[in-house]
A and B are shown apart, each in its own frame.
Chain A
Amino acid sequence: MSLLADLVNLDLSDNTEKIIAEYIWVGGSGMDMRSKARTLSGPVTDPSKLPKWNYDGSSTGQAPGQDSEVILYPQAIFKDPFRRGNNILVMCDAYTPAGEPIPTNKRHAAAEIFNNPDVVAEVPWYGIEQEYTLLQKDVNWPLGWPIGGYPGPQGPYYCSIGADKSFGRDIVDAHYKACLYAGINISGINGEVMPGQWEFQVGPSVGISASDEIWIARYILERITEIAGVVVSFDPKPIPGDWNGAGAHTNYSTKSMREEGGYEVIKKAIEKLGLRHKEHIAAYGEGNERRLTGHHETADINTFLWGVANRGASIRVGRDTEKEGKGYFEDRRPSSNMDPYVVTSMIAETTLLWNP
């Protein structure tokens, strides 16, 4: 037993220059993460120095059997908190051998939007609040909940402590440090309103890096729950009834919004978002209609509503921002299973590139 532990934690830097790179990509469902590892001859810090690779797309629903190779393009490097040393995690996106992004590759289009000079000039910042639910293995019932029954109603659980109120803190705290180690811009964590539900925040990050960081943070989270024998769910409404859903509120600002007179820019941006409500909602995550009911701190899915400090709105502007006349706003519509490449680039597109 202890020999296995020694081997897993072996520090190779004394014996070899070689490192292990874990290539990570998003699979065919748009939500499942996949990864496999390869050896590199020495430490690497720049993604452009990493070799392209490929995988069996027919095993992830991303290619037919007779033409199964999907190519991995490395896009971002993070330190590996599980292997440590000089070993790395590599966020990749997926292309056909001919060099076209495959249909489930949402990063490519996002990168185009974020390279648009009008968007680059405005330095868009994102702060993403990723909520998720921990489930007991095999029964898929939330962690800490009695099997075949329910805990007491919501109220005592938000940011709580105590064995009767807070379930799974070890996972959350391990994830926090692992992300800091990896180089992810994780800005905070908290226990959520539904027991067994948690949230972490990533940001403020610029442009496409926000999404790379969220995907890697999700990857690290699921690796940790794997170790802990617990299941992580990004379903937006894991338990129907009088229980909160899980969202991925996306905070957003541009250079103009952060400067003097920014509040007017914010209001204009919100107006544009209101005119494209249907398009955004369609891209904000599967199953969101079960979550956006108008109850449980959400706005109804068919209504576009914005307000200051109003958690029942589609878009919330903080009191700070209103007072200072500049700042940022929070799009509360995206669900926990949203694709950050899609959401962040769409917000930038609607507010900076689109005109009604």
Chain B
Amino acid sequence: MAQILAASPTTCQMRVPKHSSVITNKLWSSVVLKQKKQSSNKHRGFRVLALQSDNSTVNRVETLLNLDTKPYSDRIIAEYIWIGGSGIDLRSKSRTLEKPVEDPSELPKWNYDGSSTGQAPGEDSEVILYPQAIFRDPFRGGNNILVICDTWTPAGEPIPTNKRARAAEIFSNQKVTDELPWFGIEQEYTLLQQNVKWPLGWPVGAFPGPQGPYYCGVGADKIWGRDISDAHYKACLYAGINISGTNGEVMPGQWEFQVGPSVGIDAGDHVWCARYLLERITEQAGVVLTLDPKPIEGDWNGAGCHTNYSTKSMREEGGFEVIKKAILNLSLRHKEHISAYGEGNERRLTGKHETASIDQFSWGVANRGCSIRVGRDTEAKGKGYLEDRRPASNMDPYIVTSLLAETTLLWEPTLEAEALAAQKLSLNV
């Protein structure tokens, strides 16, 4: 499904404003001056890895990076992106295409060296990339694109780490498409200083003051890395990702962005592309991104990926009953969900720091210490959505979203199990 919005692109901080091919002396100098100002703003607090040579006084690499090739060539650059062997590492490489492309079906399949990503043996190393979603490239501008792909054997089977294929099957099921499942995903992440891998802004070898002042904070002593969060916000909007908001998190150096509401498999594609943009930006900024669910042990919040979910029936009159039935189903498959909700989640889901213990399933209205939280709005209106607070920040959104749809729309418990669970959770359905 093509994801390019029809709206005109937001001018991104990173791009030089477009200029016509007939360039007068005056116009060039104003463009170059603007570039220099931009670069000095960018460099404050950031380390740019491609340094300016001692002998050159003009940063000509930047000019080349921002070169608008449209007047000279129809060709575009497509960055093919896929998930590597660990299930959380993103990989990408680019290729030239003869002209701009609107729909993923027009893009050629490609392949890569699976033996270098832990996804194939050396003697049979080709893994095939199937293009699935297109986004605009905020780093290269013009008509250049990012392509979210999944990975297949030459024989046409999804390789074991390809979780999108199964999700796509679930989201094509008639019962699921009829219910138009919406997802809003709250991706938390932590920024670390390079080389020492200690959170951004934290004194090296020591800790900042305890949590309290940092959530949505303002000020150099409370908020660290806003430029990355803000640059990411605009980059995602430019790319066509359905980003709905950002905020600074409870642990200093930790942030969150939200993607949604998106329908079905789009949620997964958008979150993965947003993660890609985020790590490209931190790469430029000389900062390390971690999606670890508990980056610092002790009295510090972990990082989650709360997944808000609703179906057509939940959004209509009487939806609250449908939500309660869904929660009941989820309670009976707690173990299956937990095992698919991210590696290392047991370090995060302790029952403290706004989480529910990993072994216990609980739900409640406005209760952040539960596995599933239902908003006061939803309760008051009798319809709305639920928030699954269990997924860790390193979860795979293809797995989590499709599992939610599967458990609530395609799976049915036995009558006895249902009755027992209803009693336990005090759910009258």
The residues of A with any CB-CB pair to B shorter than 8 Å are 1-2, 4-6, 8-11, 14, 79, 81-82, 143-144, 146, 155-156, 158-171, 173-178, 180-181, 186-191, 193, 224, 226-230, 297, 307, 309-312, 318-320, 323
Besides A159-B91, A311-B123, 9 more A-B contacts (Cβ < 8 Å) are A8-B60, A11-B24, A163-B284, A163-B289, A170-B50, A170-B65, A181-B73, A229-B52, A309-B124
Residues of B within 8 A of A14 (CB): 24-25
Which of the candidate stretches B26-34, B354-362, B380-388 sits at the interface with the other chain? B26-34
The 9 closest A-B pairs by CB, nearest first: A190-B93, A229-B53, A159-B91, A170-B50, A174-B64, A188-B95, A158-B116, A5-B58, A319-B154
Knowing A8-B58, A81-B64, the reply to whether A226 touches B53 (Cβ < 8 A) is yes
Which of the candidate stretches B162-170, B275-283, B314-322 sits at the interface with the other chain? B275-283
Q: Are the CB atoms of B283 and A162 closer together than 8 Å?
A: yes
Cβ of A306 to closest chain B Cβ, rounded Å: 12
Residues of B within 8 A of A1 (CB): 57
Q: Are the CB atoms of B194 and A228 closer together than 8 Å?
A: no
Residues of B within 8 A of A166 (CB): 283
Q: Are the CB atoms of B283 and A169 closer together than 8 Å?
A: yes
How many Å lie between the Cα of A156 and that of B52 in the bound state? 27
Residues of B within 8 A of A189 (CB): 93-94
Q: Are the CB atoms of B94 and A188 closer together than 8 Å?
A: yes
How many Å lie between the Cα of A228 and that of B62 in the bound state? 10
Interface string of B106-138 (1 = CB under 8 A from A): 000001110111100011111000000000000
Q: Are the CB atoms of A177 and B32 closer together than 8 Å?
A: no
How many Å lie between the Cα of A209 and that of B133 in the bound state? 35
Residues of A within 8 A of B363 (CB): none
Contacting residue for A159 out of B29, B33, B93, CB 8 A: B93
A-B contact pairs, 13 of them (CB 8 A): A1-B57, A6-B29, A161-B276, A173-B140, A177-B65, A178-B64, A180-B72, A181-B67, A227-B56, A228-B52, A229-B54, A310-B123, A318-B111
| B288 adjacent to chain A (CB < 8 Å) | yes
How many Å lie between the Cα of A280 and that of B282 in the bound state? 44
Residues of B within 8 A of A175 (CB): 64
Knowing A10-B25, A162-B282, the reply to whether A180 touches B96 (Cβ < 8 A) is yes
Quick one: which of B89-107 are within 8 Å of A by CB? 89-96
How many Å lie between the Cα of A189 and that of B36 in the bound state? 28
Cβ of A51 to closest chain B Cβ, rounded Å: 26
How many Å lie between the Cα of A110 and that of B322 in the bound state? 75
Cβ of A204 to closest chain B Cβ, rounded Å: 11
Q: Are the CB atoms of A229 and B51 closer together than 8 Å?
A: yes
How many Å lie between the Cα of A237 and that of B94 in the bound state? 25
Cβ of B129 to closest chain A Cβ, rounded Å: 11
Q: Are the CB atoms of A180 and B75 closer together than 8 Å?
A: yes
Most buried by B among A155, A177, A178, A319: A177
How many Å lie between the Cα of A318 and that of B286 in the bound state? 38
How many Å lie between the Cα of A193 and that of B122 in the bound state? 13
Cβ of A300 to closest chain B Cβ, rounded Å: 14
How many Å lie between the Cα of A326 and that of B57 in the bound state? 52
Residues of A within 8 A of B29 (CB): 2, 5-6, 9
| B287 adjacent to chain A (CB < 8 Å) | yes
Residues of A within 8 A of B286 (CB): 163
Q: Are the CB atoms of B67 and A81 closer together than 8 Å?
A: yes
Q: Is the interface of B mostly helix, strand, loop or mixed?
A: mixed
Cβ of B27 to closest chain A Cβ, rounded Å: 9
How many Å lie between the Cα of A177 and that of B144 in the bound state? 11
Quick one: which of B73-87 are within 8 Å of A by CB? 73, 75, 77, 84
Cβ of A296 to closest chain B Cβ, rounded Å: 10
Cβ of A247 to closest chain B Cβ, rounded Å: 13
Size of B's binding interface in residues, CB under 8 A: 68
How many Å lie between the Cα of A164 and that of B286 in the bound state? 8
| B139 adjacent to chain A (CB < 8 Å) | yes
Residues of A within 8 A of B58 (CB): 4-5, 8-9
Most buried by B among A171, A191, A311: A311
How many Å lie between the Cα of A164 and that of B197 in the bound state? 10
Residues of A within 8 A of B23 (CB): 11
Residues of B within 8 A of A81 (CB): 64, 67
Q: Are the CB atoms of A309 and B125 closer together than 8 Å?
A: yes
Residues of B within 8 A of A173 (CB): 65, 139-140
Knowing A11-B24, A188-B93, A229-B54, the reply to whether A319 touches B126 (Cβ < 8 A) is yes
Closest to B277 in A: A161
Interface string of B17-47 (1 = CB under 8 A from A): 0000001110011001100100000000000
How many Å lie between the Cα of A81 and that of B50 in the bound state? 19
Cβ of B60 to closest chain A Cβ, rounded Å: 5
Most buried by A among B57, B63, B73: B63
Knowing A181-B67, A309-B124, A312-B123, the reply to whether A227 touches B117 (Cβ < 8 A) is no
Residues of A within 8 A of B57 (CB): 1, 4-5
Q: Are the CB atoms of A224 and B61 closer together than 8 Å?
A: yes
Knowing A181-B67, A224-B64, A229-B52, the reply to whether A163 touches B288 (Cβ < 8 A) is yes
Residues of A within 8 A of B65 (CB): 170, 173-174, 177
Closest to A178 in B: B64
How many Å lie between the Cα of A203 and that of B78 in the bound state? 16
Closest to A185 in B: B96
How many Å lie between the Cα of A230 and that of B50 in the bound state? 8
Cβ of B240 to closest chain A Cβ, rounded Å: 19
Q: Are the CB atoms of B91 and A230 closer together than 8 Å?
A: no
Q: Are the CB atoms of B126 and A160 closer together than 8 Å?
A: no
Q: Are the CB atoms of B91 and A158 closer together than 8 Å?
A: yes
How many Å lie between the Cα of A82 and that of B246 in the bound state? 39
Q: Are the CB atoms of A309 and B154 closer together than 8 Å?
A: yes
Quick one: which of B184-235 are within 8 Å of A by CB? 194-195
Contacting residue for A82 out of B60, B96, B140, CB 8 A: B60
Q: Are the CB atoms of B279 and A162 closer together than 8 Å?
A: yes
Contacting residue for B96 out of A6, A79, A188, A309, CB 8 A: A188
Q: Are the CB atoms of A297 and B283 closer together than 8 Å?
A: no
Cβ of A73 to closest chain B Cβ, rounded Å: 27
Q: Are the CB atoms of B52 and A161 closer together than 8 Å?
A: no
Contacting residue for B32 out of A2, A144, A146, CB 8 A: A2
Contacting residue for A174 out of B49, B61, B279, CB 8 A: B61
How many Å lie between the Cα of A229 and that of B280 in the bound state? 22
| B410 adjacent to chain A (CB < 8 Å) | no
Q: Are the CB atoms of B94 and A176 closer together than 8 Å?
A: yes
| B429 adjacent to chain A (CB < 8 Å) | no
Q: Are the CB atoms of A177 and B72 closer together than 8 Å?
A: no
How many Å lie between the Cα of A9 and that of B126 in the bound state? 45
How many Å lie between the Cα of A226 and that of B51 in the bound state? 10
How many Å lie between the Cα of A166 and that of B276 in the bound state? 13
How many Å lie between the Cα of A310 and that of B126 in the bound state? 9
Cβ of B173 to closest chain A Cβ, rounded Å: 32
Quick one: which of B256-294 are within 8 Å of A by CB? 276, 279-280, 282-289
| B161 adjacent to chain A (CB < 8 Å) | no
Residues of A within 8 A of B49 (CB): 143-144, 163, 167-170
Q: Are the CB atoms of B32 and A5 closer together than 8 Å?
A: yes
How many Å lie between the Cα of A165 and that of B49 in the bound state? 12
Q: Are the CB atoms of A311 and B125 closer together than 8 Å?
A: yes
